[in-house]
Amino acid sequence: MPQKFVSVSISHRRAPVAVRERLSMSEAEVRSLLEQIKDSVVREAVLVSTCNRTELYALPNDGSITGDHLIELILTAKAIPFDEREEYKDYFERQTYDAAMTHLFSVIAGIDSQIVGDQQIFAQVKDAFRLSSESGSTGGFLTKLAHAAFRVAKRVISETTLTNGAATISYAAVEFARKIYDDLKPRAILVIGAGETGELAAKHFIERNAGAITIANRNVEKAREMVARIAPEGLAGRFTTVSLEELGNALAKADIIVSATASHDYVITEPMMRAALKRRASKNPVVLIDIAVPRDIDPAISKLSNVFLKDIDDLRTIVDRNLDRRKQEIPKAEEIIKQELENFLQSLSRLEVGPTIKELRDRFEAVRKEELERHQNKLDSKSFALMEDMSRRMMNRLLHSPTVSLKEPLGSTEEMLTRVEIVRQLFGLDSRQDHEPRTY
């Protein structure tokens, strides 16, 4: 039954990165764990594992399986020593039924992400459901839940601005450049520095369909390694690497320059830029973005004509503004989650009621027939017909009240599902489910 649905989650909200790292799972590990617990512990399960969270959502085989059992399974799968397990367990959040569903919806909508409105999580949750499906761990319930979750994510993207605007400095750098140049394809881009920030900026430029990208670094070999990491297949020809000694030539050709080195001195000085502008064939403006601390680009360059220079503080203004606005959108996203959860639970309850009534009638009919057959030989045909008729009427009258009660949309969806659950338990209708999962 859906009431048994449970989730266990370890995420950036409670756990430090060292703990999250140890519990992060590869695709192979996820498959292995799902295959291991399928049937023996859970009827259906999905496991979401990213750098910021590891979460298991499951519909256990029976009510005795709790969140703590599932946490134990994750810790065992990651070979966490027994003496450390108690500490790990404290970092986990455990939720059941609608709270677990709400949590999944919040995760996929991006409101539970470290950077609110992160869109990557949508693809990551989708991948998790794909993996679960491929491992045979999704049945009717999780398939339906997945569709509801995807609907939440799509509505949040289309009906709110939760995912709008750059939320990281490197992305803001690219978005700023796009405010000057709409189309990055014909533009010459120069990224100075082959470190993590430079690499992120280069990746964002690639995502935005940038054309030629030059990577300049003191150690050219490191720049080449970076190109090998980030260049999309078949597009390595778009990348050039140069050393900082050749920076003057690269500056003269570039339309957009992003600098992210660890240098303590200016990498681009005012005379260097002035000389580069003189040699420049194009009359387009030059966009310089300095995302290094300490700064790489001499601020005096901003006084030169046809130049836009922004540093990390300027970009932080953009990021902070976007993050503030994203946070303001959270109530709208929560409202969407609430609506979709209610819709989901209602559709579940509708799907629960019909089969339960049918099973109840079948059970009564079977008992009636069994008893009639037992007495068939003791009665003449006229009396048997009378008994047959009387028992049917009696059965119908006895079933009328529970049937009406089940069908009536009284109380909340949860109350409806509880009524269904009580009827199933009272009349022993649960036995079938262990062998034959209901399809939704």
Partner 1 sequence: MFPDLCLFSAFSMETLTQAFQILLPLVYAGLVAYFGRSFFRSGNAEWRLKFAVPAAYLALLLHGIYIGAYTALNHHDLVATVSELSSLIAFTLFAVYVFAELRPSKETSGTGFFVTAVSFLLQTISSFTIGSVTMPVTKAILQDPIFNAHVTTSVFGYAALILAAIYGGLYLLLYRVIQRNEFGAIFEHIPSLERLERFGLRSTAVGFFFLTISIVLGGRLYHTYAPEAGVLQLLADPKVMMTLLVWFVFGVTLLAGRVMHVEGRRLVLFWMSGFALTVVSMMIVNAIGTQFHSFL
List residues binding partner 1 (CB under 8 A): 158-161, 164-165, 178-183, 283-285, 306, 308, 310, 314, 317-318, 321, 325
- The single-letter code of the amino acid at 52 is N
Residue 257 CB, shortest distance to partner 1, in Å, is 16
Instruction: Find, among 363, 371, 357, the residue nearest to 408 by Cα.
Output: 357
For partner 1, the closer of residues 278 and 435 by Cβ is: 278
Q: What are phi and psi of 138, to 5 degrees?
A: -110, 135
For partner 1, the closer of residues 270 and 388 by Cβ is: 270
For partner 1, the closer of residues 11 and 163 by Cβ is: 163
Selecting among 17, 51, 386, 394, the annotated active-site residue is 51
DSSP string, 27-91: HHHHHHHHHHHBTTTEEEEEEEE-SSEEEEEEEESSTT--HHHHHHHHHHHTT--HHHHHHHHHH
d(CA 23, CA 253): 47
For partner 1, the closer of residues 158 and 401 by Cβ is: 158
d(CA 6, CA 266): 55
51 is catalytic: yes
Residue 158 CB, shortest distance to partner 1, in Å, is 5
Residue 108 CB, shortest distance to partner 1, in Å, is 18
For partner 1, the closer of residues 207 and 324 by Cβ is: 324
3-class DSSP state of 380? coil
For partner 1, the closer of residues 38 and 155 by Cβ is: 155
Instruction: Find, among 105, 80, 83, the residue nearest to 19 by Cα.
Output: 80
Residue 88 CB, shortest distance to partner 1, in Å, is 41
Residue 315 CB, shortest distance to partner 1, in Å, is 9
d(CA 298, CA 67): 56
Residue 204 CB, shortest distance to partner 1, in Å, is 16
Instruction: Find, among 355, 371, 337, 365, the residue nearest to 154 by Cα.
Output: 337
DSSP string, 203-254: HHHHHTT--EEEEEESSHHHHHHHHHHHSPTT-GGGEEEEEGGGHHHHHHH-
For partner 1, the closer of residues 311 and 421 by Cβ is: 311
Given strand 6-11, what is the order of strands in its sheet?
42-49, 53-60, 6-11, 93-96
CB 154 within 8 A of CB 148: no
End-to-end alpha-carbon separation of the chain, Å?
Answer: 12
Instruction: Find, among 231, 307, 311, the residue nearest to 276 by Cα.
Output: 307
Residue 261 CB, shortest distance to partner 1, in Å, is 23
Active site members: 51
